[in-house]
Structure 1
Amino acid sequence: VHMVDEKGVFFLKGRQSALDNFHIEDTEEDSSGKAKKPQKKVYLLLQHGQSAEFDVLFKPTLAERLEGKICVTVAGNYEDTYVELVGEGYDDEFTLDNLPGQDSEESNAKDHLDKDIIEAVRVNHIQFGECAVRRRYHQTFTITNRSKGEVMRFEWLADAPFQFSPKVGHLQPGCAKDIRVTLKSNVPVTLQRHPVTCKVAKIKYELPPEEVYDWDDTVCTDEWVDITEKGPGARWPAKEKVTKTLVEPPHTLLEESSQEVELFLSAVIDYSKFRLNTIVVQFEETKLF
């Protein structure tokens, strides 16, 4: 098993099941009795019923579409087997990261396969799976500002039955923020790759740097305010703690910096259904009583 990759961006990493079955060819001797020193070949020896697992890594260095192959040579076979690899490097300043279920995108990838065209699949899809009516479900992912010096403002344009928290906020350069998606529906519904748009724009604060604070619509502050009515015999008005959402810092949008990022959400929401495989229940002979 070896990698065919001209650009050196694909990597094959064997898991323990593969490492346990790797072997190195014995060194041959020439006619003079001296051992030859060619590069030793590593091969995989699998017995009947055994399997070996590998991880394929993709580390692009440029924003471009790249291809590679995994060549599997089996002793005694007439032809080698090839596994096609396709990846696309991108250099976006605003990215969606740590999406749940990134390791289970096989079905999504199959939809992009064609006889002559193989497309790289960008992971921007969250699957909630099967969900019950009137129950809340949560998924969390991360948004990242990969720019070096610009602050970004984001806003999720989501509708029912999805809610995003935070829905709107600021993202400092080189920083990341967790986003929580909540799903709740009071009626049965099937959502297949439901699109949600995030509006992103670079901004410039209108405040001095020392007065700027990280902000989103979940950031709150506690204040103690006087209660209008004094208690009997009290010299000073009683105080009450009030939680207030911080006001968005004043800012201006930078021209031609706006973009839209799409996220797809899928879920099957329905009532529970009971299923019984047994059609006939046969009781043993029972005495009358």
Structure 2
Amino acid sequence: PKKPFLFLHRRQSTAFDVIFKPTLAQHVEGRIRVLLGDTYYDKIEIELVGEGHSDRVSLDGLEEDKTERNAKSSLKKDIIDAIRVNHIQFGVCPVGKKCHRTFTMISHYTAKIIRFEWKTDAPFKISPRVGHLHPGCAKVITVTLRSDVPAVFRRHLAKCKVDRIKYAASETNAPDWDDAMQIVTWVDSTRKEPEATWPEKDKVVKPAPEPVHVTLKKNRQEDEVYFSALVAYAQLKMNMRVVQFKDTVPYQTRTANFSIHNTGKVPLEYHWVQAVDEERVNHIKPYSRTLMR
């Protein structure tokens, strides 16, 4: 509401937008006082906490950890920490399956080249893990989770070290680079085919070498990102185990129905396979694939 006051009838509600636009890299606190009725003593105080950042490299596509926000908002202390948007929630992932999430690294430098290096523990993998960012450029980072056992991950830490670098004289025009890049070449094959009319070629794939550079220790930036996930098995419930058809005369078609339910927390992938010794039951599709959520 634009007016400084309003009337709320019984069971009525309203919403307010509070905008935070920092001009400096600093911690900022404020309060909103809501007066109820016409008495000064009957009031509600809402605490506002924000933090302005001027990081030269930012991470886009992350989210706020709501659990951390609720925990910090309940603490009684003089200094209240602002909640950083540095969390990736994978949600529920099936055991043995890969789950992917992405975010973007953005360089806000206008003339400097930076080198980043991510570090985290299994079963999380980050790609590219090491790379260079040219001025004003961005790079998509993929986080992959695959666990062969059920597990709960709560704020699993990943650290990123960001340094300014300077290319060697021979690498002044070096292109973009990261450790996921590859160089593909074709070389003469050692195989000899008597009927071949031209030389055989083999495909060789090698990691792209990192451009020669010097690390400038000054102005190092370190970032932290947290991963949360639940890895679980799919669960299936069927209303019957044996499908009993009624007596059926030749050339008559009879249909029986049964149901299956996904009672777990992850999508259930299933397929039907007809048993070899049950050739007469030929109206079941030999293969079907469906995801149940």
TM superposition score normalised by structure 2? 0.69
Q: Relative to structure 1, is the Cα distance of residues 84 and 244 closer, same or farther in structure 2, using a 3 angstrom cutoff?
A: same
| Kept after mapping to 2: 8 A contact 1:145/1:176 | yes
Q: Relative to structure 1, is the Cα distance of residues 207 and 235 closer, same or farther in structure 2, using a 3 angstrom cutoff?
A: farther
Query: Which residue of 2 is the match for residue 92 of structure 1?
Result: 55
For residues 184 and 77 of structure 2, what CA distance do their matches in structure 1 show?
A: 61
For residues 189 and 221 of structure 2, what CA distance do their matches in structure 1 show?
A: 47
Query: How far did 1:191 drift?
Result: 2.0
- Whether 2:23 is the aligned partner of 1:61: answer yes
Q: Relative to structure 1, is the Cα distance of residues 224 and 80 closer, same or farther in structure 2, using a 3 angstrom cutoff?
A: same
CA RMSD of the aligned region, Å?
Answer: 2.9
Residues 109-131 of structure 1, C-alpha deviations (whole Å, 9 max, x = no match): 12223234322111222222333
Selected match of 1:173 from 122, 132, 135 = 135
Selected match of 1:115 from 76, 83, 86 = 76
- Whether 2:215 is the aligned partner of 1:253: answer yes
Query: Which residue of 1 is the match for residue 100 of structure 2?
Result: 138
Equivalent pairs counted in the alignment come to 235
- Whether 2:77 is the aligned partner of 1:147: answer no
- What is the identity, as a one-letter code, of the residue corresponding to 2:48? L
For residues 218 and 116 of structure 1, what CA distance do their matches in structure 2 show?
A: 45
Give the alignment of 1:267-286 within 5 angstroms.
267-272=229-234
| Kept after mapping to 2: 8 A contact 1:94/1:143 | yes
Residues 36-55 of structure 1, C-alpha deviations (whole Å, 9 max, x = no match): xxxxx465555554443344
For residues 39 and 236 of structure 2, what CA distance do their matches in structure 1 show?
A: 50
| Kept after mapping to 2: 8 A contact 1:230/1:236 | no
Selected match of 1:229 from 191, 206, 215 = 191
TM superposition score normalised by structure 1? 0.70
Give the alignment of 1:157-172 within 5 angstroms.
157-172=119-134
Identity over aligned pairs, percent: 46
Structure 2: gaps (5+ residues):
238-293
Comparing 77-86 and 211-220, the one that deviates more: 77-86
| Kept after mapping to 1: 8 A contact 2:86/2:224 | yes
Q: Relative to structure 1, is the Cα distance of residues 75 and 218 closer, same or farther in structure 2, using a 3 angstrom cutoff?
A: same
For residues 173 and 202 of structure 2, what CA distance do their matches in structure 1 show?
A: 27
Residues 213-266 of structure 1, C-alpha deviations (whole Å, 9 max, x = no match): 100011223323322335445443133444332111111111344443222222
Q: Relative to structure 1, is the Cα distance of residues 259 and 136 closer, same or farther in structure 2, using a 3 angstrom cutoff?
A: same
SS, match of residue 108 in structure 1 = helix
SS, match of residue 191 in structure 2 = coil
Q: Relative to structure 1, is the Cα distance of residues 48 and 244 closer, same or farther in structure 2, using a 3 angstrom cutoff?
A: farther
Selected match of 1:156 from 102, 118, 135 = 118
